[in-house]
Amino acid sequence: MEIVERLTQFGLTRHEAVIYLTLLAEGDLNGYEVAKTTGISRSNAYTSLASLVEKGGAYVIEEATIRYTPVAISEFCDNKIRKLQAARQELIDTIPRKRDTVEGYITIKGEGNILNKLRNMILEARERVYISVPGQILETVTPDIKAAVDRGIKMVIITNGAWVLSGTIIHRSDQPLQQIRLIADSTNVLTGDINNGEYSTCLYSRKQNLVDLFKDAMKNEIKLIEMTKGNQ
């Protein structure tokens, strides 16, 4: 992802992002210099600088001329994240509590949303997690698995490839894994495909019949892996 696009995730417009990067690269500049260097017209440059300052991406140095200095990127991002964390707490405190719903079969679409759900299931697990995913997905969620292990969650993992993490129980499958499967605490299950980008689709459910079905299926999968391993 391009740097400008990442900066827009933190609330900057394209112009503001371009100006911010220019300040980082060129050092402190005044408004006239910013306009010249970036090619943004002077009126727009001054407007965007004012907005960048208001958003906390730059500070003003009032000397013979008014110059602008960029805020360090880690500081700028931390400020934004901190603000969202505060908003998060305020939302949790004030938002209407979710009405109890009849749990059914929830469809989760898009690789990003599926990864989020997968990670949240690991995060909220209390006792044990069975997970069957390709190695590259494991790479992505390694920090979450590590954190789960650290708090005493039993992690049983079926995967292909060479991924390893101490404290986990790993069963290696020779066959490519076409689907992901995850069971957390024998109460909720996630399954489906995740290699179709935004078209990936998974099913999430807390239905006990589905959970039981998947538990049996994964136990059998593990038995098969152990049997074929014994023969090698």
CA distances from residue 57 to 2, 71, 80 in whole angstroms, order as listed: 18, 5, 10
The minimum distance between CB 115 and its own copies, in angstroms, equals 9
Chosen from its own copies, DNA, none, partner binding at 170 (C-beta under 5 to 8 Å by type): none
Please, which residue, 40 or 137, has the CB nearer to DNA?
A: 40
Question: Judged by CB under 8 A, which of 30, 37, 47, 79 binds its own copies?
Answer: 79
> Number of C-alpha atoms within 13 angstroms, CB side, residue 23?
28
Question: Judged by CB under 8 A, which of 43, 81, 136, 208 binds its own copies?
Answer: 81
Verify binding: residue 15, DNA, rule CB under 7 A. Answer: yes
Contact letters (x/-) for DNA, 31-50, by CB under 7 A?
xxx-----xxxxxx-xxx--
Verify binding: residue 209, its own copies, rule CB under 8 A. Answer: no
**Secondary structure of the chain as H, E, C letters:** CCHHHHHHCCCCCHHHHHHHHHHHHHCCEEHHHHHHHHCCCHHHHHHHHHHHHHCCCEEEEECCCEEEEECCHHHHHHHHHHHHHHHHHHHHHHCCCCCCCCCCEEEEECHHHHHHHHHHHHHHCCCEEEEECCHHHHHHHHHHHHHHHHCCCEEEEEECCCCCCCCCEEEECCCCCCCEEEEECCCEEEEECCCCHHHCEEEEECCHHHHHHHHHHHHHHHHHHHHHHHHC
Question: Judged by CB under 8 A, which of 13, 51, 73, 206 binds its own copies?
Answer: 73
Count residues near DNA (CB under 7 A): 20
Contact letters (x/-) for its own copies, 126-165, by CB under 8 A?
----------------------------------------
Verify binding: residue 171, DNA, rule CB under 7 A. Answer: no
Q: Where along the sequence are the contacts to its own copies (CB under 8 A)?
A: 1, 3, 6-7, 9-10, 21, 24-28, 53-54, 56, 59-63, 69-70, 72-75, 77-85, 87-88, 90-92, 94-102, 104-110, 112-113, 116, 119-120, 198, 204
Q: Where along the sequence are the contacts to DNA (CB under 7 A)?
A: 13-16, 30-33, 39-44, 46-48, 65-67
